[in-house]
Amino acid sequence: MTEKSLLSRLEAYLDLNAKRRKKKADELKAIIGKLKKKEKALIAEYQKAGKGKKRARLEKRCVILHAQRKKGLKALKKVNKK
């Protein structure tokens, strides 16, 4: 599954009302887990990459994935509190 599709699924879950979020909590956990795996893989690739455009591009993707994963975790905590 590509990053774009994972992010779009995450965004769709964040927009749901409270009842639907509770029903989808398990799916949200799975998406967050996949994002974490992708983030770790990108970090490993980033560390291996030399200086240049590729490294900058990988860094940007890592930052975006990290932010989206944190947003998902925040939403999951909100669902679990309710």
pLDDT digits 0-9 by tens, 6-48:
888 877 777 666 567 667 788 888 999 999 999 999 999 988 8
Residue range of the domain that includes 58: 3-81
Q: What is the pLDDT of residue 75?
A: 85
Q: What's the half-sphere exposure (Cβ side, CA atoms, 13 Å) at 47?
A: 5
Cα(67)–Cα(73) distance, integer angstroms: 10
Cα(80)–Cα(64) distance, integer angstroms: 24
Instruction: Map tokens 């690739």 to a residue.
Output: 45
Show the tokens assigned to 36.
């974490």
Q: What is the pLDDT of residues 48-75, one digit of tens each?
A: 888 888 888 988 999 999 999 999 999 8
Question: How many domains does one find in the chain?
Answer: 1
